[in-house]
C-alpha cells in the first residue's frame, strides 16, 4: 500500500539521526574547511537529493550539528555551573582547567566550526551563540553568582565578569590550538591561567576572599 502523500517513513527520525551523527563527525574533523552540501552528502554516504530530504539546506545541517553539540555538552555545562565551589581561587582555577580540558577533548573543534560558519552569517552566527558560546558564558555566570552570594566576589554584572573570565582564555586557546600558535609562538596555557586569575581576583574579589593557593572548601 503506498504511503499517503506528506507522511514520513516510519524510520525517518532514526535515519535522520544517523545521518546527523555522520555529519557531526565529518564537520568537526574538517579542520576549518567549509564543506559544500555535496561534500556533506558524500560524508553522510547518501546522495545530495537524499540529504536534502532530511535537511533542507547546508545551513540547516550546520545548525543541527551545533544543536547536537549543545545537547552532548549539557552534562559538562551543568557540572561547570553547579559542582561544589571551593574557596574562590581554586574554584575558578578548576573552572578554567575544565574549559581547557573540554576544548582539547573536542569542544575547540565545535567553536572552530561555529566561528568559521557563523561570522557574518545572519542565521549561523546566532545559532553558534545560542547553542555553544552563550551556554558556556551562562555556566560561568552561574558559578560567579555563587561566589558573589558567598561574599567572595564583589557584586557586579555577572555577564560582564563571565566574559572577562572566559574571553581571554578562549582567545588563548584559539591562538594555540586552532590557529597553530603552538608551532609559531608557543604560550604556556597553565601559566597564562595563573596570571589571568591574579588579575581577575584583584579586580573582583572582596578583601575577605581566601588568598591565592588556599584550599579551604566552601560548598554551595
Query: In this model, does residue 1 exceed pLDDT 60?
Result: no
Q: Are residues 82 and 129 in the same domain?
A: yes
Q: Are residues 18 and 90 in the same domain?
A: no
Residues 6+ apart with CB under 8 A from 87: 152, 209, 210, 214, 215, 216, 217, 218
pLDDT computed for residue 85 by the predictor: 83
Alpha-helical (H) ranges within the chain are: 12-28, 37-44, 48-54, 58-82, 88-102, 108-118, 124-128, 134-149, 158-173, 181-184, 189-204
pTM score of the predicted model: 0.89
CATH number of the domain bearing residue 188: 1.10.357.10
Query: In this model, does residue 5 exceed pLDDT 80?
Result: no
Q: Is residue 109 a contact partner of residue 28, using CB atoms and an 8 Å limit?
A: yes
pLDDT over 70, % of the chain: 91
Q: Give the pLDDT mean for 127-133.
A: 98
Q: Are residues 122 and 151 in the same domain?
A: yes
Tens digit of each residue's pLDDT (9 = 90 or more) over 67-95: 999 999 999 999 999 998 889 999 999 99
Q: Are residues 78 and 185 in the same domain?
A: yes
Q: Are residues 18 and 102 in the same domain?
A: no
Q: Are residues 135 and 174 in the same domain?
A: yes
Calpha distance 160→137 (Å, rounded):
10
- Tell me the angle at which helices 134-149 and 58-82 cross, rounded to the nearest 10 degrees: 20
Q: Are residues 79 and 35 in the same domain?
A: no
Strand partners, 219: none
Calpha distance 134→139 (Å, rounded):
9
Cell numbers for 103, please give them.
576544548
pLDDT computed for residue 58 by the predictor: 97
pLDDT computed for residue 220 by the predictor: 40
Residue 204, phi then psi, degrees to nearest 5: -120, -20
Q: Are residues 36 and 80 in the same domain?
A: no
pLDDT computed for residue 213 by the predictor: 52
Within a domain: residue 156? yes
pLDDT computed for residue 31 by the predictor: 82
Tens digit of each residue's pLDDT (9 = 90 or more) over 149-180: 999 999 999 999 999 999 999 999 999 999 99
Amino acid at each position: 500500500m503506498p504511503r499517503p502523500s506528506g507522511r514520513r517513513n516510519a524510520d525517518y527520525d532514526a535515519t535522520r539521526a544517523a545521518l546527523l551523527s555522520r555529519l557531526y563527525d565529518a564537520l568537526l574533523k574538517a579542520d576549518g574547511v567549509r564543506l559544500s552540501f555535496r561534500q556533506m552528502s558524500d560524508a553522510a554516504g547518501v546522495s545530495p537529493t537524499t540529504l536534502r530530504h532530511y535537511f533542507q539546506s547546508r545551513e540547516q545541517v550546520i545548525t543541527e550539528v551545533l544543536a547536537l553539540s549543545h545537547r552532548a555538552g549539557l552534562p559538562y555545562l551543568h557540572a561547570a555551573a553547579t559542582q561544589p565551589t571551593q574557596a574562590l581561587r581554586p574554584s575558578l582555577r578548576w573552572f578554567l582547567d575544565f574549559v581547557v580540558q573540554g576544548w582539547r577533548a573536542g569542544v575547540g573543534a565545535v567553536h572552530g566550526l561555529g566561528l568559521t560558519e557563523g561570522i557574518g552569517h545572519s542565521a549561523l552566527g546566532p545559532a553558534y551563540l545560542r547553542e555553544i558560546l552563550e551556554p558556556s558564558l551562562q555556566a560561568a555566570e552561574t558559578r560567579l553568582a555563587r561566589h558573589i552570594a558567598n561574599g567572595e566576589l564583589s557584586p557586579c554584572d555577572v555577564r560582564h565578569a563571565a566574559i572577562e573570565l572566559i574571553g581571554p582564555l578562549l582567545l588563548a586557546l584559539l591562538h594555540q590550538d586552532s590557529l597553530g600558535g603552538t608551532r609559531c609562538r608557543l604560550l604556556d596555557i597553565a601559566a597564562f591561567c595563573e596570571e589571568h586569575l591574579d588579575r581577575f581576583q584583584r579586580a573582583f574579589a572582596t578583601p575577605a576572599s581566601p588568598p591565592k593557593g588556599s584550599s579551604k572548601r566552601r560548598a554551595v
